[in-house]
Structure 1
């Protein structure tokens, strides 16, 4: 299980600033989870929150395929196609809520465009699982 560390010398944040992993673990790197349904269609065009919910469901599915869970995540990068900070915060709150009490380090970025038509949100993650 990763060790998440908050750094009191830095501004308080809704995430840990640092995570460490045991060297006897296997790292899991995900592709960016996208707001696609099982048929490959972008869900909820124009709705950052709804797309973020689909992204997190897809991320959980990808992690499960590798034997990992959200609580195994040690780092995320959240991409939001918007120049408006409020849209970034909307997507971030959904991502943050999906993790519950687990607060891995994360980078939140506003970008110009993402890969799929009408895509607004993408999340990539690094996780660690025990090697048994």
Structure 2
């Protein structure tokens, strides 16, 4: 088994500022950092829309998993952080569209804010291959 550490970037302008990787794979374990709803153009996707922002976060997380040699089927846990936890159902709907048959562990947490005040949600994902 490969126990080397592989880092995956996503091109986020925050990666070099914070010195983080979008994802890290070590052996069979893949950790995807908190994904924010940032479009390819660097602009927040779906301002005011928890569902649209959650979809974008999951798109970013899925791309990072793929780059790490994993897939949604390998996900064992998601952490969904919201600035307003009363809006959890919109995030849950988007998450359910990807994970209904996989059913990884999930935690919803309310946070006071994110780096960009337009962000309503960030998502972390953990996966284990094999």
Task: Please give the TM-score of this superposition, normalised by the length of structure 1.
Answer: 0.73
1:112 aligns with 2:130: no
Number of residue equivalences: 104
Unmatched segments (≥5 aa) in structure 1: 1-24
Tell me what 1:126 maps to. 126
Q: Deviations over 1:53-89 (max 9, x none)?
A: 1111111111111011111001111011115x2x111
Which runs of no fewer than 5 residues in structure 2 stay unpaired?
A: 1-26
**Aligned counterparts of 2:93 and 2:110: Cα–Cα separation in 1:** 15
Whether 2:110 is the aligned partner of 1:100: answer no
- Larger % of helix: which? 2
CA distance in 2, matches of 1:114, 1:96: 23
Does 1:58 pair with 2:35? no
What's the offset of the Cα at 1:110?
A: 1.8
- Kept in 2: contact 1:33–1:58 (CA 8 A): yes
Aligned residue for 2:91, secondary structure, equals helix
CA distance in 1, matches of 2:113, 2:92: 17
* Structure 2 SS opposite 1:124: strand
Q: What displacement does 1:115 show? A: 2.1
1:39 Cα offset (Å):
2.3
Tell whether the 8 Å contact from 1:78 to 1:109 is kept in structure 2 after alignment. yes
Moved over 6 A (4+): none
Q: CA RMSD in A?
A: 1.3
Q: Could you tell me whether the CA contact under 8 Å between 1:92 and 1:108 is conserved in 2?
A: no
1:40 — aligned with what?
42
Structure 1 CA distance, aligned partners of 2:82 and 2:95?
11
Give the C-alpha shift of residue 116 in structure 1. Answer: 2.3
Higher relative contact order (CA 8 A, sep 6+): 1
